[in-house]
Amino acid sequence: MLVLSRQRDESIMIGDNIVVTIVDIRGDKVRLGINAPSEIPVHRQEVYEAIQRENLRAARLEPGDTEGLGRLADRGAAQGPKKPNDGPRR
């Protein structure tokens, strides 16, 4: 881990396009301003970890999650192929 000392209104660069600026220091709290391209997500660590947990939970299949899918496919096949909808007939 790189540890740097910065004062208020001073910045550090991460790569060529991320700037972290010390905005304010009050007691034991430091406010940071982060300027990064919009395609780079920036989250507090606890929010990032919650997102990762939710993504893992959503990616897992539970035993009953696929129940009934075969019946839906069979029902669609029994109805035959759908015809294109040309809109209302006059």
Q: What angle do CA 9, 11, 15 make, to 5 degrees?
A: 160
Q: Which residue range is the domain that position 54 belongs to?
A: 1-61
pTM of the model: 0.62
Q: Are the CB atoms for 45 and 61 separated by under 8 Å?
A: no
Q: How far apart are CA 64 and CA 71, in angstroms?
A: 14
- Number of folded domains that form the chain: 1
- CA pseudo-torsion sign 29, 43, 32, 14: positive
pLDDT at 70: 74
Q: Is 35 inside any structural domain?
A: yes
Q: Is 30 inside any structural domain?
A: yes
Q: Is 74 inside any structural domain?
A: no
Q: How far apart are CA 56 and CA 65, in angstroms?
A: 15
Lowest mean pLDDT among 26-35, 51-60, 71-80: 71-80
Q: Residue 5: which pLDDT band, with cuts at 50, 70 and 90?
A: very high
Tens digits of per-residue pLDDT, 19-47?
999 999 999 999 999 999 999 999 999 99
Q: Is 36 inside any structural domain?
A: yes
Q: Is 44 inside any structural domain?
A: yes
Q: Is 13 inside any structural domain?
A: yes
Q: Is 9 inside any structural domain?
A: yes
Helix (H) or strand (E) holding 25: strand 18-26
Q: Is 4 inside any structural domain?
A: yes
Higher pLDDT, 83 or 65: 65
Q: How far apart are CA 67 and CA 74, in angstroms?
A: 13
